[in-house]
Structure 1
Amino acid sequence: MKLSIVIVTHNRLEELCELLETIAGQSVKANEIVIVNDAGESVETVKALYNELPITILNLKENVKHVRARNEGVKQASGDVIMLFDDDDLMTPGHIERMLKALESSDFAYSDAEIVSFQDKNKTRYPVSRKLFAYTFDIEEMRKFSTYVPSGSVYKRSIHEKIGAFDPEMHNYWDWDFFLRVSKEGFTIKRVPTASVIYAFSDNGDNQSAELHGARENYLKALCEKHQLGDLPTKNFAVLLEEPAVKKRESASERVWDGEPVKSRLVDGQ
């Protein structure tokens, strides 16, 4: 299998370098890393900082937002296996090896995660809170609340040949939509019960998962209409995690992160 990691970034150079630091430390290496710069500040410096990594940078002239940018990255990628990653998330040691192993008996695999809030100190993020995000895989329950974290997930590129690209019309819910489309077409999905992805979450409303009102409600309505999900509640993400129906889905998972901040070469070189 030839693995391409697709990362979309926009003005997050420090976070991007932390992610690349965790990729550089993997036991199994990616064949290609496609960084899609969605019309943000230059990220060319990362190629020199991480020159052992097979990095290709795709600079978009216009800010097309994260879904379309991700589609451009997948088009650019040459691997038969795609791994997705947000630029502010991290992978723990052994993640790539573990996920490729899972893909030997599936078409699509995703791992558990830890939801982490960070505080910046001297251009390095330090964790201030962490919560296990691990839930049983049940497709009917996934139609009520998605527990799929796209960062770190892997899938066979051939899936796109049948279901098409990520849907920009779903915006905040592109990943949930993608998961449901994959499932509907009968592809084999596997959940890996290891919290090997560090999912950065802000309580201050500056990332998508913390948004609530306005356009986000419209995107949820569009998702529900597309997949006949009925009327799903629009609540704060943290509130939804405490709902009894979601709490019942909580599952055991191996926690592998040591909790230490990632010091990137960008910071080391300053």
Structure 2
Amino acid sequence: MLDTVTVVIAALKALGLNYGFLLDARERVAFLRGLGVTLELCALTIPVSLLAGIVLAAMLTSGRRTLAAPARAFVEITRNTPTLVQLYCGFLVLNMVITQQLSQYGGTNPLTPFFWVVLVVSLHKAVFHAEALRAGIEAVPPVTLEAARSLGFSRRQMLLRVELPLAVRFALPALVNNLVDLVKMTALASAIAVGDVTYESIMIWTQRDNVLELLLLILAWFGLLTWLVSVVGRWLEARLRMPGYGQ
């Protein structure tokens, strides 16, 4: 296996691409670990963001001002400010406050940089999920809601059994687009030294002159991940398409 890698690296070097770091065990392990961390970030932020988006959408369409008003304020603030600034505010400000408060009682802050990336990125994309779902909920035909009421459904039952299942189908293209953007957004983890593929690549190219080569690998990795999300999204769209709708 190593011989094959050596041959490939030699061939690429003849083309002017230096992938010699793959022959260094420490750097190779660090890069592969970075790929894994990026995969972990995607695996966690996708379900967390969708769950938070559903909660926000339910609050926005609840008809209760006490729920809709704070949800709307959160949506407007979150989607109108840069994700990187939110990450810095969370990790450098809020995390510091938590650390100081816990230290007064002899405790330590258990929240890691990885946690803050998952939280901030998930909540940031959750507001876009929420808006897509809200539009989907509002697109549910009134006659469908009247039929649900005639069956004695409560507001909660209507949301869970009627509105959300239909809203997800209406909003699925927008949700998939949001998830593709979320995958790319996980690269922000390197800003607070989380060892994702971007951070590990930066650490490697500071010791070698191979920025272009590592950037090509990063692009290929994120291209693969976003392609997989798109494929699953298209499969779900075909699977959940409502027969006769829009025709």
With a CA cutoff of 8 Å and minimum separation of 6, indicate the structure with the bigger relative contact order. 2
TM-score, L = length of structure 2:
0.27
Higher helix proportion: 2
